[in-house]
Copies of this chain bind each other. A is one copy, B any other.
Amino acid sequence: MKRDELTEKILDIKRAKGWSWKHITTEIGGMSEVLVVGALLGQMKLVKPLAKKAAQLFELSESEERMLNETPYRGSPMPPTDPLLYRFYELIMVNGPAWKALIEEEFGDGIMSAIDFDMQIEREPNAKGDRVRISMSGKFLPYKYYGAEQGIPELGYKED
């Protein structure tokens, strides 16, 4: 059994039952819906109690339940050909240089974590047409200069 076969089975059941993602994530609960939907689509791991709930909801076998609890091989095809996803890709292509300049000026040399990371998607009502509001928060991880001598001022990144 491959993870994408399980994903296809889950989507088939969702379609046959006529369930929405909201219904599914409410039934499973326990984590933000982005994470639960990501796991059902084969990109995230469902922790055990949630995998159990998902298995009950979709009437999965014990092996399928365990597969939901496994960390998948993450990643989907790039560049995305789907217009909805491509717009995010384009945002990086166009704004990436400015993001890098501003984040490094504010935080120093490092990155925003994509692992210790949280995100919400919301509808933002607007008279000229509703907007999609996306809020991301990722821990800043400074490049560590191991081996650096004590007492060099700029090296004073403190580990949290």
Contact = CB atoms under 8 A, between A and B. Distances in A.
Contacts of A128: 139, 159-160
Contacts of A16: 62-63
A154 B113 contact: no
A75 B84 CA distance: 11
Interface string A93-108: 1111111111111110
B123 A144 contact: no
- Report the interface size class on chain A: 35 or more
Nearest to A112: B132
Contact of A8 (B1, B45, B113, B154): B1
A29 to B, nearest CB: 7
Contact of A132 (B8, B49, B119, B137): B137
Interface in A133-156: 133-149, 152-155
B90 A102 contact: no
A105 B70 CA distance: 10
Given A41-B97, A47-B154, 18 more contacts: A12-B63, A21-B105, A32-B145, A32-B146, A41-B98, A44-B98, A47-B152, A76-B96, A80-B96, A85-B99, A88-B99, A103-B132, A110-B115, A111-B115, A112-B132, A119-B146, A126-B139, A129-B160
